[in-house]
Amino acid sequence: MEGRPLEERARIERAQGGDAGAYETLVRQYQDVAFRTAYLITGTAAEAEDAAQEAFVKAWYALGRFRPNAPFRPWLLRIVANEARNRRTAAGRRVNLALRARERDPDGDAAPSPEAVALRAEQRAMLLRAINRLRVDDRLVIGYRYFFDLSEAEMATALDCARGTIKSRLSRALGRLRDVLRAEDLTDDDLRGLENG
């Protein structure tokens, strides 16, 4: 893992020199997070795919402005999010995001009771429904922080804002999520159940 950033930097520098093969490896490395970020914004897989693809192409042509020793992921995500927002705006319709939880593989867990599994599934679904109901900005800030595990510095780059504002943006997003959760009659215990699930 120690050598990974250096290796990535080398690929970025090669890509900046016009090596499309090196760039393709970067696309493969980041296409998951790019597509998922776009999906959080657009709400449809087709739009998210188009946005991600367009963003990777634009990033290729913008590589000359990228500093090789800067983190690539947030720089890329900023382009992805812009592209996804543009598509969402151009579509002129509000597609409701429908985040769902994966079906769990029962063999992977320490044999919880069927009731416990069903309960946690319901709690997960309620939390995701609450997230679905948030505004795009709030969803994105929560997604970056808790789903994709971006640092505050990375979030500042990805959201194109001052690092000092990240905490307050996150706090406001959590506040609005809290309001939705209360309306959904969820409890702290429900959420604690998720942690252990």
Cα torsion angle, 147, 153, 155, 158, sign? negative
Give the Cα separation of 119 and 105 in Å (integer). Answer: 15
Residue 32: C-alpha distances to residues 13, 36, 128 (Å)? 22, 6, 20
Least CB distance to another protein at residue 41 (A): 13
C-alpha angle 134-138-142 in degrees, rounded to nearest 5: 110
Binding residues (CB under 8 A) for another protein: these are 16-18, 20-21, 23-24, 27-28, 31-32, 34-36, 39, 45, 48-49, 52-53, 56-57, 60-61, 63-68, 99-104, 124, 127-128, 142-143, 145-148, 171, 174, 177-178, 181-182, 186-189, 191-192, 194-195, 197
Least CB distance to another protein at residue 8 (A): 15
Least CB distance to another protein at residue 189 (A): 6
> Which residue is it, tokens 């800067």?
70
Least CB distance to another protein at residue 28 (A): 5
